[in-house]
Amino acid sequence: MSNWWVILIGLIGGAAVGLQSPLAGSMGQRVGGTASSFIIHISGAVFSGLFLILRGGERIREWRSLPWYMLAAGIFGLILYQTISVTLPRLGSTMMVVLIIIGQLILGVVIDHFGLLGVTQRPVDGLRVLGILALVLGGWLISK
């Protein structure tokens, strides 16, 4: 797969987060953060199940070989939807997404730096620090 396709897929994923977050926040305002997380995860499970069937099951039978912490990863979805239900009504959609992106990228740099969770280690350098600062500055500018 060429890098252009991979970049396009990444942008589609970003757009999906950009759409899902305000939808989840609005839903959270109507039914509560935990209820919206439950609804979103149930619908996600249904669609994932259908997609899994279309893909021939992939290697789903190997789920028992996964470390416990991978099986508990769903907690982060709950945390995300709880934070969305707090930030969206108080800061708006743009700031909510900006904060989520800044948090993701800073954590990504830390994970890369230490090679955590099995990713290839990529130490923090001056350019990456500059990128983080530019990102935070961009978030601040968008908040004005």
The whole-number average pLDDT for the span 43-72 is 94
Give the whole-angstrom CA distance, residue 64 versus residue 78: 23
Maximum alpha-carbon separation in the chain: 50
Give the whole-angstrom CA distance, residue 12 versus residue 17: 9
Each residue of 10-57: pLDDT tens digit?
888 888 888 888 888 889 889 998 899 899 999 999 999 999 999 999
**pLDDT score, position 81:** 84
Count of all residues that appear for the chain in the document: 144
**pLDDT score, position 30:** 93
* The pLDDT of residue 113 is above 90: yes
